[in-house]
Structure 1
Amino acid sequence: MALKAIVAGLLCASAVTIMYSLAPMRPLVMKTVLSYKFLVPEAESLARKTLYYGGLTEAMRGQSLIGTSTITTGFLGTMWAFTFLAASNTMILVIGLAIVVLKVGWQSELFMVDRVFEKTQLAIENPYEEESFAQRLRSFTQPFSHLLEHPFWLIAGAGRIGQKLSSRGNVEAELRDLAGLSKHSGFGMAYYCYGLVAAITHTLIMLSGFLLILKRLQKPSPEGAPLYRITWQTFLIAWCGLLFWWLPGHAMIGEARGVILFFFFFGFMMACDRMLLDQTNEAVRQ
């Protein structure tokens, strides 16, 4: 029964996310689901502040990202394995919907597929001419050249307050933003806010988590821990999601929710590792 409830929640959360991405359905989602304050904490304040600086699109995008991520995190981040095992009928429905989208809606303007292909092709053919992609590339290389001119950034950066004030046109903060650094990656944002040591440390944490997952998956499932393998398979999928969030985006470092989410997930994974190890040792002693 619990798994059926999880499946229902997963479908509802996915439906909200997909409906919001389609322009004709967006007003309906905003007036119904995202109208509940607890799903979008401080949404009105965020929208007002963003609108004050002339960012209408950013205000709408920020509110939708917060709302849909609040809905989907619990289901999509932790329960996908259980839903896959327990809901074969649901999988048939999902596959059927995917076929409908591919057959009917692939060329539709509602899905913006052409825009995705064009942006991807431009990024591959001219990576340094496509500005958004070039910024992401520079965010991994620019810190080292910047450090040669500003050695103090080895251990300290502008801080998150400096980053936020700079984006809002504060003159003092703009003076601190010495090189107009590209920050569109976890590494670039960590360097900008906290310095090179912090950026390398965060990168090593990302790498160590990935290596731990691979190490655990290479081992045979121990006795006494029946969920051992599926647990680490789930962590692998989730960690890949974090990795593809960290590579092209800065929210994991530059936003409080991103920092909290990452270190909560990392700590949760370490706790599960310890729990599975204790279960294995207990089974061996018995």
Structure 2
Amino acid sequence: MQEPPQFETLHATVDGRIGRLTLNQPDKLNPLGTRPLAEIADAARWFDSTEASIVIVTGAGRAFSSGFDLREFADPAASPDLDDRAQADLGRLMAEAMEQMRALTIAAIKGPCIGGGLVLAGVCDLRIAADDTVFAIPEVDLGIPLAWGGIPRLVREIPPAIVRELVLTCRPFDAEEARSLGFVNRVVPRAELDEAVDELAESLSRKAPSVVRATKRQVNTALENVAPTTGAWADADQLGAAMRDPEARAAAREYLRGRTRA
């Protein structure tokens, strides 16, 4: 087994058959900027070199993830090493790397789970949410489309009419609503989240890894037939266009000002 790689924005560890991927920018509510997206994809590939058959995905501190790093959206110079399209495509590459992992993934969701954070949770195979979780998809208010293959992945889990509503209105929804819609498997009190996820991971880790992997592949193949993500590469063009659109930039700045005032 390879040694765990050193990341700037997350921790990746393995103990026996159970791995953990923890977003680790708690003071910023674990945003998904250029660096975290690339590191999540790298971590997903690293887990494939280990004995992990289950990987728990969570965020340090009080949040799962505040989603796409709005500082990068409002300021293109925040990612000088990437052109617009390459930056916009990192989310798709992250989602595909997570989805293609051999290990079964369990999202342990708490606090804010926003935009791209919801996409990250959505590519996990199972989801347990704390009762303090607040979901939201604010991209349309920001003047950008929901990218990273987020729409087809949501349609796989949630009725299409509800997906339209949630994406277009950008309204927040809580863990119980997410459970009733079928997006999360279970809701538990915040104080019991870690124990509930650990128990599930331990139970699944005792099953034959080859059968767990085969089941994951079978479900993912069926889901791809229901709502394919093969066209998600084009999301980067749409997102990149929005990132060059003055009206979209103005919307992002206004959204950020509103959050600062709040």
Identify the TM-score tier after normalising by the shorter chain.
under 0.3
More helix by share: 1
Highest RCO, 1 vs 2 (Cα 8 Å, sep ≥ 6): 2
Query: Bigger radius of gyration, 1 or 2?
Result: 1
More strand by share: 2
TM-score (norm 1): 0.22
TM-score (norm 2): 0.24
